[in-house]
Each structure stands twice: as structure tokens, then as C-alpha cells.
């Protein structure tokens, strides 16, 4: 009773002191509330003023600063265009001095295109179009003069005044002469006169005799015949035959220079030429050479070693090198930027796979409206969840298959390059995943099991399509080049070894995590049984938080148990509840 009375008196004292303190602090509290309200109003007004100032500054920037910047930009653009115009005139004049007419015409066409697209409406260039048209006329006259000087140089005589022929008039004259010759031949053939036959026989005999005595000399220096005066029909026929072949050789040289000039690309401009376009060019040139061979213009020079054939072969090799460099750079860039996440499969890739399985040939096809992409690439009813770089590489392999079909004569060069690309893709994947290179390149925190599985599946997809590329190459190779097919087998072996290495790494990681999970599960089960047993035992001996002395002793023992449990390596991350949670089952 005495203790209870003392506690009640203490309670009253504490209550009175708290009331006194609250009354003393109430005035300061309400003053702070009023001050907060005033401060809030002042902040609202300040924000309103700031918005007004910002709107005014924005208006000033639009009216003054932006106009000034625009004027400066226009002035700089005008200076650049004037410099371009001055450089254009200098460049055109320099090319004209070098007699490089194709480049001059190309430069003028580019300038007209820029003038019509980017500089339309610029007043300072309003006369540039007419100046460029005048340059066309000047170039035409210069080319005509060069042609006349070439005729004078080749034939050794100066053309008469006003007799320099244009292309159209020359073509009409040649056609008229050809018609007359055909008419004469038909007349002789239909007359059946023995005199005509005797004349023809004498002419052929004279031609045969003349060809047997002087063919070697004519073939050694055909340009020397241009200065020889023609005095008889047999001599004319011998000379025309050699000069026709010589003219054909000159025409081939001109064609070669034109093709080389057209094939040159500006720096940084991608090559948009397709294998089909190159095939069309080769077929046209072959048709031209066959027609020339039928006319007998390859008597002294085989078709295979003609300048045009050598030029076409060189252009094809250059195209193959550009084709390979572009795709090698593309796949390298895509791999370096790969995040090693599962990529959505576009309809284009699914259509490519379906068409390949249907026809047995790997080809790029446009995406069909019936095919819809998904999360996995379906290949022969098997789902391939792969990264985006693997899909891009399949498309590149289809490009090479199209090249094999379009350029069978260069299959060996294409084979070496596609094998190089296959090995590069395989080794780069190994460096990024097994060598952990992706951690530095794209910022991955760790190489996870998902990354390993995606890499393995991507390589399996490439392995599936390599036989299609191999069969395409085998169809195009000659019999003496079939030994090159061993490179595909070596590439497939490398891919298989890489896939096995990734699989073994994947299995080891899964084994490690499985063992840890099993250990954790065992200790978690033991801990749950311990909690249930401890709860029942404490309830049986009537220990609760209300009994402070016994509860404190039990808490010390339970804390020692929890500390010992966390000290074990397999239970370092195990969640251990408090003693209250164990007792009340929380």
C-alpha cells in the first residue's frame, strides 16, 4: 500500500509538471503555426514573380538572342557556300585542264542537285544554275575538239573545216554504208553469174595471199596502217580487219576507264551496289564480248585476257572486299554493343527461316504480312531464344549466299571471307562471355546463367545455318577448289568446342548454386523445427515476457544460438527471428 501511494503521488507530480510545460510551450507553438502560414504566402508570391521573370526572359531570348543567333548562322552558312562556290570553280577548271571530263560532269551534276535541294531560294546563287549549264556547253565543245585532235593524231590528216561529225550523223553514215554493202552482196548472190563468181574467187584468193604475207606485220603495229595509203580492195579489206580489232581494243580501254571512274566511292559513303546489279553488268559485258568475237575482233587477243575482262575481274574483287568489310564492321559493332538479353524476333527473320526451310537455300526475303514475330525464332518447330547479334549474323550469311549464287566465278574468294567472318563471330562471343569482356564494354555486373544460355543458343542457331552456306559454296566451286570446303568443317568444330565449353561452365554454375540452395534449405528446415520446439517448451514451463528475470535468461541463450547460426558459412544470409516473434508466432 505504501508503494502504491508513493507511485500515485509521483504520477500526480509528473502529470502536473507535464501540464505546466505544455501550457508554457503552447504560445510558441501557435506563433510558429502563424509564422508558417505567412511564410507560405510569401513563397507563393515569390514563385509567381519568378514565373513572370522567366516568361519575360524567354520572350527576350526569342525576340533578341534567337534572332541574333539565326543571323550569325545564316552569315556562316553564306560564307561556307561562297567558299564552296569558289572551290567548285577551281575544281572544275583543274579537272578540265586534266581532261578529266567524267569527273567534271559528275561535279556539275552534284552541284546542281545541291543547288536544287539545299540552296533553293538563296539569292546569291540565282545565276549558278545558268553558269553550270554554260559549263556543259563548254565541256561539249572541248570534247569535240579533243575528238578532232585524236582523229588527226590517229589518221595523220587534219579534218576539213566544218566536217567534224557528231555521233548521230556518224551513226547514220555507218548504217547507210552497211545497208549498201548488204545490198551488193545480195545482188551478187542472186545473179549466179560465173563472172561474179570468178571475181569473188579472185578477190578471196588475193585476200588469202595478202593475209598470208603480211598478217604478222599488221598485227604487230596496227596503228602504222593509218598512215598507209590504200590502193586496192584486198589491201583495204586487210587493213579494215586489223583496224577494227584495234578500234575494239581502244573501245575496251575507254570502257574500263569509265567503269573504274563509276566504281569509285566517296569516303564515308556506303556501297549500295547489289550482287544482282553486278551480275547484270557482267552479263552485259559478256554479251558484248561474244558479239565482238562473232565479228572476228578477237583474232589476235583471247577474250579471257582482254582489257575489259581484266577490268571486270578487278572490279568484282574490289566489290567483294568492300562487301566483306562492311559486314565485318557491322557484326563487330553489333557484338560490342550487345547487352546479352533475349531479343524479340522480327517478322523479317521468321520469314527468312521459313523460306530457307521451304526452298533449302538461305536467302533474304521481305517480311510477309502473314508471319508475325515473337519472343523466339521458330526453326523446324524448335524455339531458339537468342540475342539480336545472332539474328543479324544469320541475315549476313544470307547476303553471302546470294553473292555465291550471283558471282560463282569468285566463290573461292567469298568462301575465305565468310569463313573468316564465322571464326570472328565465334571468337568474339568467347571473349565477351567466357572472357567476361562484356563487363567492361556494356557494363554488365556479372556474367549470369541467362547470359551463358543465350550465348550457347545463339551459337547453336549459327551452327544450324552453316550447312546451308556450305552447300551454296559447294555448288559454285570448281572441282579443283572443292578442297576448300574443309574450312567449313573446321569452323563447325570450333563452334562445337565453344558450345561445349559454355555448357560445361553453365553446368558448373548450376551445380554450385544447387549445392548452396540445398544447404540453405536443410538449415532452414532445422531452424523451423527448432522454433516450434522452443515455443512449445517455453509455453510448457510458463515463460513469457511478463516474467522479466526468466525471460532475460532465455533471451541471452537464444541470442547466443542466433549468433552461432549466422557464423556458419551456409547460414550467413539466413533470417533469424527475435524471441518475441518465436513465442507469439509472428
Instruction: Please identify which residue in the block is written with the cell numbers 574467187.
Output: 201
- Minimum mean pLDDT range among 292-306, 371-385, 502-516: 292-306
**Residue 200: pLDDT over 60:** no
The more confidently predicted of residues 381 and 366 is 381
**Residue 208: pLDDT over 60:** no
> Closest Cα partner for 272 from 326, 352, 330, 328?
326
Contacts for 35 with CB less than 8 Å, ≥ 6 apart: none
- Minimum mean pLDDT range among 105-109, 168-172, 308-312: 168-172
Average pLDDT, the chain: 76
Q: Are residues 205 and 103 in the same domain?
A: no
* pLDDT for res 134: 76
Grid cell locating 51: 514565373
**Would residue 316 count as lying in a domain?**
no
Q: Are residues 470 and 555 in the same domain?
A: no
Q: Are residues 430 and 541 in the same domain?
A: no
**Would residue 144 count as lying in a domain?**
no
* pLDDT for res 469: 92
Q: Among 213-217, 367-371, 422-426, 541-545, which range has the highest average pLDDT? A: 422-426
**Residue 444: pLDDT over 50:** yes
**Beta strands at 382-384 and 377-379: parallel, antiparallel or unpaired:** antiparallel
HEC letters along 555-577 = HHHHHHHHHHHHCCHHHCCCCCC
Q: Which domain holds residue 580?
A: 516-584
Q: Are residues 523 and 475 in the same domain?
A: no
**Would residue 16 count as lying in a domain?**
no
**Residue 229: pLDDT over 80:** no
Q: Are residues 276 and 223 in the same domain?
A: yes
**Would residue 45 count as lying in a domain?**
no
> Closest Cα partner for 434 from 421, 422, 452?
452
Helix (H, G, I), strand (E, B) or coil at 118: coil
- The mean pLDDT of 80-105, rounded to a whole number, is 69
- Minimum mean pLDDT range among 89-98, 270-279, 357-366, 406-415: 89-98
Vertex 339 angle, CA 333 and 342, to 5° = 115
**Residue 302: pLDDT over 70:** no
* pLDDT for res 198: 44
The more confidently predicted of residues 111 and 411 is 411
Question: Do the Cβ atoms of 450 and 356 come closer than 8 Å?
Answer: no
Q: How confident is the model at residue 390 (pLDDT cuts 50, 70, 90)?
A: very high
**Residue 39: pLDDT over 60:** yes
**Would residue 543 count as lying in a domain?**
yes
State residue 542 phi and psi, 5-degree precision: 60, 50
Query: Which of 132, 166, 182 finishes a domain?
Result: 132
Q: Among 27-41, 144-158, 510-524, which range has the highest average pLDDT? A: 27-41
Question: Do the Cβ atoms of 320 and 417 come closer than 8 Å?
Answer: yes
CA distance 507 to 406: 45
For the chain, percent of residues with pLDDT exceeding 90: 11
Query: Which of 512, 534, 556 finishes a domain?
Result: 512
Q: How confident is the model at residue 369 (pLDDT cuts 50, 70, 90)?
A: low
**Residue 371: pLDDT over 70:** no
Grid cell locating 143: 570534247
- Minimum mean pLDDT range among 215-229, 297-311, 322-336, 479-493: 215-229
Q: Are residues 376 and 495 in the same domain?
A: yes
Burial class (CB in 10 A: 0-12, 13-18, 19+), 323: buried
- The mean pLDDT of 139-167, rounded to a whole number, is 64
**Residue 99: pLDDT over 50:** yes
Q: Are residues 411 and 533 in the same domain?
A: no
Q: Among 7-11, 75-79, 144-148, 389-393, which range has the highest average pLDDT? A: 389-393
Residue 19 vs residues 9, 12, 29: alpha-carbon distances, Å: 15, 11, 15
* pLDDT for res 207: 39
* pLDDT for res 461: 92
Question: Do the Cβ atoms of 476 and 405 come closer than 8 Å?
Answer: yes
Residue 196 vs residues 178, 189, 231, 412: alpha-carbon distances, Å: 20, 9, 22, 58
Q: Are residues 384 and 525 in the same domain?
A: no
Q: Are residues 112 and 75 in the same domain?
A: yes
Q: How many domains does the chain have?
A: 4
The more confidently predicted of residues 531 and 479 is 479
Instruction: Please identify which residue in the block is written with the cell numbers 587493213.
Output: 239
Question: Do the Cβ atoms of 311 and 259 come closer than 8 Å?
Answer: yes
| First and final C-alpha spacing in the chain | 39
**Residue 215: pLDDT over 50:** no
Residue 241 vs residues 218, 245, 296, 299: alpha-carbon distances, Å: 10, 7, 8, 10
**pLDDT for 241-260, tens place per residue?**
677 777 777 777 777 777 77
For the chain, percent of residues with pLDDT exceeding 70: 70
State residue 383 phi and psi, 5-degree precision: -85, 130
Contacts for 261 with CB less than 8 Å, ≥ 6 apart: 102, 103
* pLDDT for res 218: 40
**Residue 169: pLDDT over 70:** no
* pLDDT for res 206: 42
**Residue 414: pLDDT over 50:** yes
Residue 463 vs residues 388, 422, 460, 499: alpha-carbon distances, Å: 16, 10, 5, 10
* pLDDT for res 217: 41
**Would residue 317 count as lying in a domain?**
no
- 460: CATH: 1.10.357
* pLDDT for res 31: 77
The more confidently predicted of residues 446 and 327 is 327
**Would residue 441 count as lying in a domain?**
yes
**Would residue 31 count as lying in a domain?**
no
Q: Are residues 66 and 111 in the same domain?
A: yes
Q: Are residues 419 and 507 in the same domain?
A: yes
CA distance 271 to 261: 14
Q: Are residues 489 and 470 in the same domain?
A: yes
Instruction: Please identify which residue in the block is written with the cell numbers 531464344.
Output: 385
Question: Do the Cβ atoms of 498 and 429 come closer than 8 Å?
Answer: yes
* pLDDT for res 156: 57
Q: How confident is the model at residue 400 (pLDDT cuts 50, 70, 90)?
A: very high
Amino acid at each position: 500500500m505504501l508503494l502504491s501511494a508513493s507511485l500515485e503521488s509521483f504520477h500526480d507530480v509528473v502529470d502536473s509538471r507535464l501540464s505546466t510545460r505544455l501550457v508554457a510551450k503552447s504560445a510558441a507553438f501557435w506563433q510558429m503555426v502563424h509564422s508558417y502560414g505567412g511564410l507560405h504566402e510569401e513563397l507563393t508570391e515569390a514563385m509567381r514573380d519568378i514565373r513572370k521573370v522567366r516568361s519575360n526572359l524567354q520572350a527576350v531570348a526569342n525576340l533578341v538572342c534567337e534572332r541574333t543567333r539565326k543571323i550569325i548562322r545564316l552569315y556562316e552558312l553564306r560564307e561556307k557556300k561562297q567558299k564552296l562556290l569558289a572551290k567548285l570553280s577551281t575544281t572544275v577548271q583543274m579537272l578540265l585542264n586534266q581532261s578529266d571530263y567524267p569527273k567534271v560532269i559528275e561535279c556539275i551534276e552534284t552541284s546542281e542537285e545541291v543547288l536544287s535541294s539545299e540552296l533553293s531560294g538563296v539569292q546569291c546563287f540565282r545565276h549558278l544554275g545558268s553558269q553550270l549549264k554554260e559549263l556543259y556547253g563548254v565541256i561539249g565543245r572541248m570534247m569535240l575538239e579533243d575528238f578532232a585532235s585524236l582523229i588527226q593524231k590517229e589518221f595523220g590528216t587534219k579534218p576539213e573545216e566544218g566536217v567534224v561529225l557528231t555521233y548521230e550523223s556518224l551513226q547514220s553514215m555507218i548504217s547507210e554504208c552497211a545497208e549498201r554493202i548488204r545490198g551488193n552482196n545480195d545482188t551478187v548472190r542472186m545473179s549466179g553469174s560465173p563472172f561474179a563468181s570468178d571475181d569473188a574467187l579472185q578477190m578471196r584468193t588475193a585476200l588469202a595471199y595478202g593475209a598470208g604475207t603480211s598478217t604478222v606485220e599488221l598485227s604487230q603495229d596496227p596503228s602504222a596502217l593509218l598512215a598507209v595509203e590504200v590502193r586496192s580492195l584486198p589491201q583495204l579489206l586487210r587493213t579494215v580487219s586489223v583496224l577494227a580489232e584495234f578500234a575494239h581494243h581502244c573501245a575496251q580501254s575507254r570502257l574500263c576507264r569509265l567503269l573504274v571512274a563509276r566504281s569509285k566511292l566517296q569516303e564515308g559513303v556506303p556501297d549500295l551496289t547489289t550482287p544482282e546489279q553486278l551480275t547484270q553488268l557482267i552479263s552485259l559485258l559478256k554479251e558484248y564480248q561474244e558479239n565482238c568475237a562473232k565479228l572476228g575482233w578477237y583474232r589476235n587477243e583471247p577474250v579471257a585476257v582482254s582489257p575489259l575482262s581484266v577490268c571486270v575481274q578487278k572490279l568484282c574483287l574490289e566489290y567483294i572486299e568492300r562487301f566483306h568489310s562492311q559486314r565485318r564492321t557491322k557484326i563487330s559493332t553489333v557484338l560490342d554493343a550487345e547487352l546479352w538479353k533475349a531479343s524479340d524476333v522480327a517478322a523479317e527473320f521468321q520469314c527468312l527461316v521459313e523460306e530457307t526451310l521451304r526452298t533449302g537455300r538461305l536467302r533474304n526475303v521481305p517480311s510477309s504480312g502473314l508471319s508475325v514475330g515473337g519472343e523466339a525464332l521458330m526453326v523446324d518447330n524448335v524455339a531458339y531464344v537468342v540475342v539480336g547479334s545472332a539474328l543479324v549474323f544469320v541475315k549476313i550469311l544470307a547476303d553471302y549466299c546470294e553473292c555465291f549464287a550471283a558471282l560463282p566465278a569468285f566463290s573461292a574468294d567469298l568462301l575465305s571471307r565468310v569463313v573468316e567472318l564465322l571464326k570472328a563471330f565465334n571468337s568474339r562471343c568467347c571473349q565477351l562471355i567466357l572472357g567476361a569482356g562484356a563487363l567492361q564494354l556494356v557494363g554488365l555486373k556479372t556474367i549470369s546463367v541467362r547470359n551463358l544460355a543465350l550465348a550457347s543458343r545463339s551459337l547453336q542457331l549459327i551452327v544450324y545455318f552453316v550447312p546451308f552456306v556450305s552447300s551454296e559454296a559447294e555448288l559454285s566451286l570448281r572441282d579443283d577448289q572443292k578442297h576448300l570446303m574443309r574450312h567449313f568443317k573446321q569452323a563447325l568444330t570450333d563452334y562445337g568446342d565453344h558450345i561445349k565449353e559454355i555448357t560445361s561452365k553453365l553446368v558448373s554454375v548450376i551445380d554450385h548454386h544447387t549445392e548452396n540452395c540445398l544447404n540453405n534449405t536443410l538449415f532452414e528446415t532445422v531452424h523451423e523445427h527448432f522454433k516450434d520446439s522452443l515455443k512449445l517448451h517455453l509455453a510448457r514451463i510458463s515463460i513469457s515476457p511478463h516474467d522479466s528475470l526468466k525471460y532475460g535468461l532465455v533471451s541471452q541463450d537464444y541470442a547466443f544460438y542466433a549468433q552461432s547460426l549466422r557464423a556458419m558459412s551456409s547460414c550467413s544470409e539466413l533470417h533469424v527471428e527475435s524471441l518475441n516473434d518465436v513465442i507469439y508466432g509472428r
